[in-house]
Amino acid sequence: MRHGDRVKKLGRTREHRRALLRNLCRSLFIFEKIKTTLPKAKATRQLAERLIEFAKRNDLAAKRQIYRYVPDHKLVKIICDEIGPKFANRSGGYTRIYRMGPRLGDGAEIAILELVEQSDASVITQRRKLIERRKLVEVKKEKKTKEKKSKEKKAKPKKEEKTKEEKTTKKKTPKTKNTQKKSK
């Protein structure tokens, strides 16, 4: 029985469950539609609707409350400026869940969780690019530093190759003497 159980545990520890729900909410606000299991969708729906309630207020305290669960300033701005005003006339029911049937691998019930009022596909792709742009810039910086390191490493092995060639020539001369001794 589940008397008094206020939280769906989803078979995870508290920290893992909170991270999972945060990531699912983040994906929901970026793409406005996610595909996941039914229990995860139901748990995510509660958090997402609560965050949309904050977004409808659109004041500093509400933005800070949203930032607690979605720690990305760009995404908080999108939630408050774009997603919140869409639901200004609604007093609840900001998301819907479609059941998709069992998953083939393990039979888990799959569902699609989506926002009731969605944006155009072009707006969603722009939103995704805006949020992911920060990661792309960091990757480019890492590649430049890796290229510099690889250039430095390439310069050093040339010197080492010469020393290896010298070592091999030195080793060949004693081997020829050993072979001559064995032949006698």
Per-residue model confidence (pLDDT) at position 122: 86
pLDDT score recorded for residue 132? 81
Whether the model pTM is above 0.75: no
- Specify the pLDDT at position 108: 93
CA 178 to each of CA 5, 165, 171, 182: distance values in angstroms, whole numbers, following the listed order: 83, 20, 11, 6
Which residues is 87 bridged to in the sheet? Answer: none
pLDDT at 169: 56
Q: Strand ranges (DSSP E) for 60-176?
A: 95-102, 109-115
Cα angle 19, 62, 117; round to 5: 75
- Any residues with CB less than 8 A from the CB of 7 and at least 6 apart, and which? 17
Q: What is the pLDDT of residue 126?
A: 86
Token pair, residue 65, equals: 């409350």
Task: List per-residue pLDDT tens for the chain, 184 residues long.
Answer: 778 888 888 889 999 999 999 999 999 999 999 999 999 999 999 999 999 999 999 899 999 999 999 988 999 999 999 999 999 898 889 999 999 999 999 999 999 999 998 888 888 888 888 888 765 455 566 666 767 666 666 665 555 555 555 555 555 555 555 555 555 5
